[in-house]
Amino acid sequence: MQDIILCRSLEQDLTRAVQACPHDRLFVLTDNHTLCHCWPLIAAFPCMQHAQLITIPATDEHKTLDTLAAVWTALQQGGASRHSLMVNLGGGMVTDLGGFAASTFKRGMAYINIPTTLLSMVDASVGGKTGINFGGLKNEIGVFNCASSVLLDTAFLRTLDQDNMLSGYAEMIKHGLISQTEDWAELMRFSFDKADYALLQQMVAKSVAIKERIVTEDPTEKGIRKALNLGHTAGHALESLALEQGKPVLHGYAVAWGLVCELYLSFLRTGFPQHILQQTLQFVRAHYGSFPITCKQYDRLYEFMTHDKKNQNGIINFTLLADVGDIRIDQSAGKEEIMEMLDFFRENV
């Protein structure tokens, strides 16, 4: 199981993490944003002095087979072996693709994640899911393989714009919803106008602990880990539609909209409390804005949902809630219910 480190001293914690993985060569993967904004924060550390830098283009549209091949090529040309070590310094795209590259090069080399966005801190970098997008579908190809260590330092969040902060925060809302009412309520109260980073670090730690507990119980998503998919069946469909239209949206925004959809479906199917649905809807509307869809797009959204990895035998499966923390996995829904869910979203968000 991976070591989740809440950093007090990034230099000391990273040095220990690197020393815990004996290696012949060290590589650091960045994208062109984290190369400028984040690499300078660790470049002078003695443990980084012999690192070979690999830099890829930023944003999810580059989370592709071509980019993956470029990383494999750089590892090969840099003399990497299965005894080498890679440090992924970046957001979810970097940790997903870098983790997959490390997991498959020479049949697997060790890697460390240093997530630099809120989204990657609370979601992408923790839990061992790695992969790339393929054929227009999110995370279609990948493996489960945990990083040796994940270093969480909210100092990186000061380099982040508010849109990316909110993107990560959507996954924290999801964790609150599958945990307990107090966690969800705290998330609804947090102010982004004057972000309290000390409080945020505590909230990140709590959010990661929720995910870590579930992942430890079910590492390969045979059961309760499916709770982490709340908001993602509808969310991935909205994200895929936006990408197809040439108007990509941040993953967390799609998840926030997906949470509204699936909490409404939970209200219909399992009696999820209407007041919590409404409060969450108001928070999402105020912070994430709207994603306009028309009835003509329903069939395309439904088609995207049929490709979701949680499905079995062509039946679309959702993770739903009967209440905060009362999780119902493997809940199938028919086309008529899904269309009603999309009606609610179109009319309310």
Query: Over the stretch 145-165, which tens digit does the pLDDT of each residue have?
Result: 999 999 999 889 887 899 999
User: Rg (Cα) of the chain, in Å, rounded?
Assistant: 20
Sorted by where each begins, the domain ranges of the chain are 3-160, 163-348
Which of helix, strand or coil describes residue 2?
A: coil
CATH number (3.10.450.50, 1.10.1020.10, 1.20.1090.10, 1.10.8.80) of 163-348 reads: 1.20.1090.10
| CB distance 55 to 78 below 8 Å | no
- pTM assigned to the model: 0.85
Q: Which residue has the tokens 């309310």?
A: 348
pLDDT value at position 1?
A: 64
Count other C-beta atoms under 10 Å from residue 1's C-beta: 9
Rounded to an integer, what distance in angstroms lies between the CA atom of residue 2 and that of residue 168? 21
At residue 198 the predicted structure's pLDDT band, cuts being 50, 70 and 90, is confident
Query: Over the stretch 6-20, which tens digit does the pLDDT of each residue have?
Result: 898 999 999 999 999
User: Measuring CA to CA, which residue among 307, 349, 310, 309 is closest to residue 331?
Assistant: 310
Is 90 exceeded by the pLDDT of residue 293? yes
pLDDT value at position 2?
A: 77
Q: Which of 139-143, 212-216, 310-314, 324-328 has the lowest mean pLDDT?
A: 310-314
| CB distance 2 to 128 below 8 Å | yes
Q: Which amino acid is at 129?
A: K
Which of helix, strand or coil describes residue 56?
A: strand
Kindly tell me the burial class for residue 182, based on how many C-beta atoms sit within 10 Å of its own C-beta (0-12, 13-18, 19 or more): exposed
What is the CATH number assigned to the segment(s) 3-160? 3.40.50.1970
Computed over every residue of the chain, the mean pLDDT equals 94
Query: Over the stretch 10-55, which tens digit does the pLDDT of each residue have?
Result: 999 999 999 999 999 999 999 999 999 999 999 999 999 999 999 9
Q: Which two tokens stand for residue 332?
A: 């199938």
pLDDT value at position 206?
A: 92
